[in-house]
């Protein structure tokens, strides 16, 4: 492992809309930021999203990976450096912070945390066993493998509806399993889902068990009102019940709330550690949209600029 001798002005940990936007603004301000974009998670959640229809400036929609590629290209055009590494340890106290990866150690006056969030799981017995063998958290990654088969999607928000609409291209029937009696998704998305001929919604149901030999074969559904159980034969089950913030690596270094979201001094992006700022889904309980993440990345870069100018 090598340790860089120079102290950078800005290191951005994470990518996605927040990280890339922070990089664009920091680079244009002349700080030559380093983006530790990650390995498997490089680009954030939008790397596994098909068509993004609600990002401003894209009236015809844009594929998630294409949008992230364009943001990265824009950041690099202005002088951002990108390394596909994961931070394994961060020391964020003091004027100079230390970020350790598997291959090196970086030092910076400012760290912007754009760590994003992770797929939330059902926490059922055999869920891990069936992961990749019928259970998935990414329709765009795995939907093709279930062509002509019975598929289930767990959830009722925009993410679940997006997954179900995508899977409707492949599955003989897509079963949407929702614990409530109405969808939480936006009306436009809900209407689109309910109009799909091969989508069936199971209201007031939760998945309580998974069954199969080598691969998933069925799921037990429990009615949240009556408690009655039923068996749903499915080959694929896609979990879309939300995300948890990826803040484990910085707990103890910056303050987080009970749910693990990094606390910032709203409306700024300042954490309780001087020179450390946080943006995107690792902060956002409420909106969790690409455009709001990008906006918070902008704010983090501007806050970082003000902090650095104060050190001069």
| Coil, helix or strand at residue 67 | helix
5-16: buried (b, 16+ CB within 10 Å) or exposed (e) per residue? Answer: eeebbbbbbbbb
Active site residue 138: yes
For 176, other C-beta atoms within 10 Å of its C-beta total 27
- Which one of the listed residues 141, 191, 257, 265 is annotated catalytic? 141
Q: Please answer whether residues 25 and 302 qualify as being in contact, where contact means their C-beta atoms are separated by less than 8 angstroms.
A: yes
Q: Please answer whether residues 246 and 118 qualify as being in contact, where contact means their C-beta atoms are separated by less than 8 angstroms.
A: yes
Q: Please answer whether residues 143 and 167 qualify as being in contact, where contact means their C-beta atoms are separated by less than 8 angstroms.
A: yes
Active site residue 142: yes
Q: Please answer whether residues 304 and 10 qualify as being in contact, where contact means their C-beta atoms are separated by less than 8 angstroms.
A: yes
Reported residue count of the chain is 312
Q: Rounded to whole angstroms, how far apart are CA atoms 47 and 144?
A: 17
Q: Rounded to whole angstroms, how far apart are CA atoms 283 and 300?
A: 12
- Which one of the listed residues 138, 223, 244, 298 is annotated catalytic? 138
Q: What share of the chain is helix, strand, coil (3-state, %, to 5)?
A: 30, 30, 40
- Which one of the listed residues 9, 86, 142, 284 is annotated catalytic? 142
User: Which residues are identified as catalytic?
Assistant: 138, 141-142
């Amino acid at each position: 492992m090598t340790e860089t001798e120079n102290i950078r002005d800005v290191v951005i940990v994470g990518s996605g809309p927040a990280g890339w936007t922070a990089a664009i603004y920091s680079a244009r301000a002349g700080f030559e930021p380093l983006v530790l974009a990650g390995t498997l998670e490089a680009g954030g959640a939008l790397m596994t999203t098909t068509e993004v229809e609600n990002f401003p400036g894209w009236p015809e929609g844009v594929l998630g990976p294409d949008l992230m590629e364009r943001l990265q290209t824009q950041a690099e055009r202005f002088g951002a450096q990108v390394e596909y590494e994961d931070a394994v340890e961060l020391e964020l106290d003091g004027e100079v912070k230390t970020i350790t990866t598997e291959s090196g150690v970086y030092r910076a006056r400012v760290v912007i945390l754009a760590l994003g969030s992770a797929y939330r799981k059902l926490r059922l017995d055999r869920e891990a066993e069936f992961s990749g063998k019928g259970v998935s958290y990414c329709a765009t990654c795995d939907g093709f493998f279930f062509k002509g088969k019975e598929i289930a999607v767990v959830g009722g928000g925009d993410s679940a509806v997006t997954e179900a609409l995508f899977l409707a291209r492949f599955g003989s029937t897509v079963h949407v399993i929702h614990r409530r009696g109405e969808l939480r998704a936006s009306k436009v998305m809900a209407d689109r889902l309910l109009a799909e001929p091969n989508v069936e919604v199971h209201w007031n149901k939760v998945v309580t068990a998974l069954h199969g030999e080598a691969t998933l074969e069925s799921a037990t559904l429990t009615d949240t009102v009556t408690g009655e159980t039923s068996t749903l034969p499915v080959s694929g089950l896609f979990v879309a019940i939300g995300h948890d913030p990826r803040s484990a690596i910085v707990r103890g270094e910056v303050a987080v709330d009970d749910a693990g979201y990094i606390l910032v001094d709203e409306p700024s992006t300042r954490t309780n550690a001087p020179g450390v700022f946080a943006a995107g889904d690792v902060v956002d309980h409420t909106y969790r949209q690409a455009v709001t993440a990008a906006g918070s990345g902008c704010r983090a870069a501007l806050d970082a600029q003000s902090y650095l100018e104060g050190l001069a």
